[in-house]
Structure formats: C-alpha cells, structure tokens
Amino acid sequence: MSADRNPRLQGKVALVTGCGSAGPGWGNGKAIAALFAREGAKVMGCDIRLEAAEETRDIIRGEGGTCEVMAVDVSLASEVEAFVEQAVSSFGGVDILVNNVGTVAVGGPVEYPEEKWRRDLDVNVTSMFLTAKYALPHMEKAGGGAVVNIGSIAGIRYTGVPYISYYTTKAAVIGFSRGLALEYAGRNIRSNVIMPGLMNTPMIVEPLKGVYGDGDIDKMIEKRNAQCPTGAMGDAWDVAEAALYLASDAAKYVTATELVVDGGITAKFA
C-alpha cells in the first residue's frame, strides 16, 4: 500500500458473503475480503464452510487487518439476519455489501434435478434479496452505502456450457441489482453488478472439469485460456479490484450498471 495516499475504504464496514475459497488458492470472495481489509475496511465475512472463512480471516489478521467471520447459509433468512446484526454489533454499522455467494453445475432443463434448480435459485438469487433486506436499513440509517453483486457474463450470453440454472440466476442478478439501485438512488445507496468472464479460480474445478478435457484439469485450463482474447483467463484479483472500485467513493456516481470483467470475450462473440 502506498504511503502517500489514504486507504480507499478507511473506516468502512464491509459485509462479504462467500469470503472463503472453494479450494486451494484465491476465490473471488477471499480476494475481495483481503483487498478490502488492506484498504482499511473492517470486514465481516461469511461462508457456509466455517474453516474456509477462518482461513481468510487469519490471512487478514496476519496482515494487520480487521475481520470477523461466521458460518452462514445465505439462503436462510434467520442466518443472514444474524450475520448482519453481528456486523452491526461488532463494528457499528454496514457501509458495503458484497454479494459473492454462487453455485454452478452443468445440466440443461430436461435432465437437471428440480431440487437442485430450486437450491440454485436460493443460493444465487434469494441470498441477495435476504442480505439486502437486512443490510439496507443500516445503510440508510448511516446515510448511504454501496452494494456490489457478483454476476457473470453468463447472465447475458451463452458461454458454451449447458448450465441452465446458472444462466437463469445470473440474469436475475442484473434485474435485482438494477431495481435496488433505482429504488435507493435518492437515498445515497448504490447497487452494481460485476460480470466476470472466464476466470481461473478454485470454483471452476469440480463443476467444469468434465466439460473440458475429459476431467483433465490442465486441459480444461488450456482450453479456457484459448477462448479468451487475451490468451489467458482472469483471476480473483481482477474481480476484487473491480469490487473495490464500485465499493469506493471513486464510483460515487456509478449505480444501476454492470461492470464486465472478461478480457474482451463478450465483445469477441457479440
């Protein structure tokens, strides 16, 4: 961190859902939580796997940052409410909400199990409704805030992989975020979506390894890299930097929009 500037989130309280990582390395939520803490935010993080959240917490504290975590199923109202209230109790309020939790699995409408479809809707969309329900009143009380929703380019185009619930839920994230943004624009609360493209994060390994290279992870990565105009996928830090911008005062006049972070792939196949 440069000594000649102030941290961009100094004094802010940031909620980050899905702050753990799905496997070894840096997932989006883990990178977002760490970067926000480096920029002065007090981070309240959650993950359905407590040990994953605690790993992120320990990294942040090891760097001198402030972070508390909880195990939370973000599809359950009671657990989300407790998560938000813990942030208020520990840190005094809520300034930033990052909705990062998401799930993806391969399958089209005929073969995809109905129970999995409903679970995907709850995890990918209902979770955002619930965090907003409980966090927005605290933001309004504080005089404003920023909501950053993690979507995907899958919300606006077919990516070549048959995951019908992912396309559906990521499209819904856009509508949810825009509606929230316009309703709260006059109350100094902004809401935006980050739309990552093909990213190299731990989340892609299990759901997609059978789609690319017959289960060979190295072949999967090679094929996904080749699809990108830049010749390589992005990573969690690309998403984290975008989230930092949207959460910070640098984006004070940016709301109801989608920030595409995809190395140009949507333009290539437009």
User: What residues act catalytically?
Assistant: 166
Strand partners, 259: 194
C-alpha 203, offset from chain centre: 12
CB atoms closer than 10 angstroms to residue 146:
26
Strand duo 189-196 + 145-150: pairing: parallel
How far from each other are the two terminal CA atoms of the chain, in whole angstroms? Answer: 38
Query: Which of 57-77 are b and which e, b meaning 16 or more Cβ less than 10 Å from the residue's Cβ?
Result: bebbeeeebbbbbbbbbbbee
Distance CA 15, CA 36 (A): 10
Distance CA 17, CA 3 (A): 30
